[in-house]
Amino acid sequence: MREAAEASVTFEDNRLAGVVLGQYDQNLAHLERRLQVVAHANGNHVIVKGPPDSVERGKAVLEALYQRARAGQSISPGDVDGVIEETAQQRSLFPAPNSANGVSFDAVVTRKRGPVRARSVAQDAYLRALKRNELVFAEGPAGTGKTWLAVGHAVSLIEQGVVERMILSRPAVEAGERIGFLPGDMREKVDPYLRPIYDALYDFMEARTVERALQTGMIEIAPLAFMRGRTLTNAVVLLDEAQNATSMQMKMFLTRLGEGSRMIVTGDPTQIDLPPQQKSGLVEAVRLLSGVEGIGHVTFREGDVVRHDLVRRIVKAYEDASREPASAEPRGSGR
């Protein structure tokens, strides 16, 4: 049995120490759970105890978080996860592309939030793919940041003047329910389907800026069916929930790409709500366009979920169940 190790970290600024540790030391508690260590904070001094490798990583994580706090960045348990992943890359024999001062995940920068750094290797690959390719497919379960980071990237392109407008789209397919006819004009009808995109927009832009952009057409919200016949130039175009696009709809959407435009297609192939006889356009497009120059493809797994820890465990439980044979399903009462 390996002996337990101990390391101490002292933060120079008490106020920044509070930012690192989080409200009621929630960030420190999250670090303990993730690295299987015990950490005690006394003012600006933290002692970490546990297995030598974990203690070493815990110390490195706390020091990296302090540097982020010094740079004026807020720190949440999700940011702790991101730094833990970064330190894992630094210790790898085959690290990801690095900066001058060691491995550093890529970030998306907007005026409202400043730099938002990737929290996993997959998110880092995603941000790099978005910056390098004109068309990017992102597949994976809920909670991995596919849509949120795509909207953040789109906002950054608008603010940098790389593109002139943002077009956000989704197939209008109910997730197993029948909600009937919705009242109101076109925007009011499609709003319920696009609410997750609105939430991400308000995260990256001031509310008054979003409303003004919607009124002037700089941001356009459109159901997928209304994209037919258009050529989209100098725009960043996001298709969310693309697993619910049919093959014909996906081909139609992809061929809307015009000069100076970027496209981002996100979806979860395990949550297809199309009728059984219809193929998912996302699954087909990823297969057909694999290896085509200028197209990026990133796949997220359950380990990349960056929401609450419980969400990661829920996703994993469902994925484990999907791999079990049909005979494992509970039988009916039968007469």
CATH fit for domain 107-323, picks 1.20.120.530, 3.40.50.300, 3.30.390.30, 1.10.3720.10: 3.40.50.300
* pLDDT values of the chain reduced to their tens digit, one per residue, 335 residues: 456 888 999 998 889 999 999 888 989 988 998 888 999 998 889 999 998 888 988 998 899 899 888 888 788 887 888 888 777 765 543 444 444 344 578 889 898 888 888 888 889 899 999 999 999 999 998 888 899 999 999 999 999 999 999 999 888 765 444 445 556 655 566 666 677 788 889 999 999 999 999 999 999 988 888 888 888 899 999 999 999 999 999 999 999 999 999 999 999 998 888 888 889 999 999 999 988 998 999 999 877 777 666 766 787 788 778 777 654 555 454 44
Cβ-proximal residues to 135 (8 Å cutoff; 6+ apart), any chain: 254, 257, 262, 263, 264, 265, 294, 295, 296
Task: Decide: helix, strand or coil at residue 51.
Answer: coil
**This prediction's pTM:** 0.72
CA dihedral (205, 210, 212, 215) positive or negative: positive
Predicted local confidence at residue 247, as pLDDT:
93
Whole-angstrom distance, CA of residue 159 vs CA of residue 148: 17
What SS3 state is found at 215? helix
Helix (H) or strand (E) holding 135: strand 135-139
What gap in Å lies between CA 137 and CA 130, rounded to an integer? Answer: 9
The pLDDT, as a whole number, for residue 273 is: 86
Q: Which residue has the tokens 């490798």?
A: 53
Q: Decide if 136 contacts 149 (C-beta within 8 A).
A: no
Tell me what pLDDT residue 92 has. 44
Closest CA to 250 of 235, 269, 276: 269
3-state class (DSSP) for residue 127: helix
Contacts of 289 (CB under 8 A, 6+ apart): 137, 295
Query: Does residue 220 contact residue 167 with C-beta atoms inside 8 Å?
Result: yes
Distance separating alpha carbons of residues 97 and 169, to the nearest angstrom: 32
**Strand 114-117 to 235-239 pairing:** unpaired
Question: What class, spelled out in words, does domain 5-98 have in CATH?
Answer: alpha beta
**Residue 248 to residue 246: CA distance in whole angstroms:** 5
The pLDDT assigned to 167 comes to 94
- Give the pair of three-digit tokens for residue 263: 């496209």
**Which structure tokens are listed for 49?**
């105890």
- pLDDT at residue 275 in the model: 86
Domain-by-domain residue ranges, the chain? 5-98, 107-323
